[in-house]
Structure formats: C-alpha cells, structure tokens
Amino acid sequence: MTEWMDSSEVAELLGISPRTLDNWCHCRKIKYCKPGRKRRFRRSDVMDFLAESGPRGRSQMAARPATLTTQRLD
C-alpha cells in the first residue's frame, strides 16, 4: 500500500515553503501526481528526493544560476 502526502506535509518535511515546493514541482525537481486539483506525493518518492538532495532539500534550491547586472551611474 502506498502512503501519500499532501503539499503542506512535504514542504514541512523538506524544510521549505509551500511556494518553493510549487516551484520545484513546476520545474520537475520532485515527483508528484495530481488527481484533480491537489498535488499528492508518494512518501517513497519524497524520501528518495531527500536522500539525493541532502538535508532539507536545500541543494535543489538553485533553479537558475545567479546573474550579476551592473548599471552605470553618470
């Protein structure tokens, strides 16, 4: 039997905000399914993600490389 988790449970487990979890889902960084309007996550998929990404999932946060912009002040 598969145990399912909702977005708030996953965000709390990973130590991230629900909005960050939404971004990760959009970028396909974490597996989920959407039976209707709500996302559901298999507990095993979340645990695999956590094992691969390290503590609190923080290594996955950089979706894009940072860019430095400069402006000329005249």
Please say if the pLDDT value at position 1 is more than 60: no
Please say if the pLDDT value at position 9 is more than 90: yes
Ordered domains of the chain (ranges, CATH): 4-58 (1.10.1660)
Alpha carbons 50 and 40: distance in angstroms, whole number: 16
Q: Is 40 helix (H, G, I), strand (E, B) or coil?
A: strand
Q: Phi/psi at 12 (nearest 5 deg)?
A: -65, -45
Alpha carbons 29 and 23: distance in angstroms, whole number: 9
What pTM value is reported for the model? Answer: 0.67
Burial (Cβ within 10 Å: 0-12, 13-18, ≥19) of residue 25: middle
Tens digit of pLDDT for each residue in 19-66?
999 999 999 999 999 988 999 999 999 999 999 887 654 544 444 444
Residue 44, pLDDT score: 94
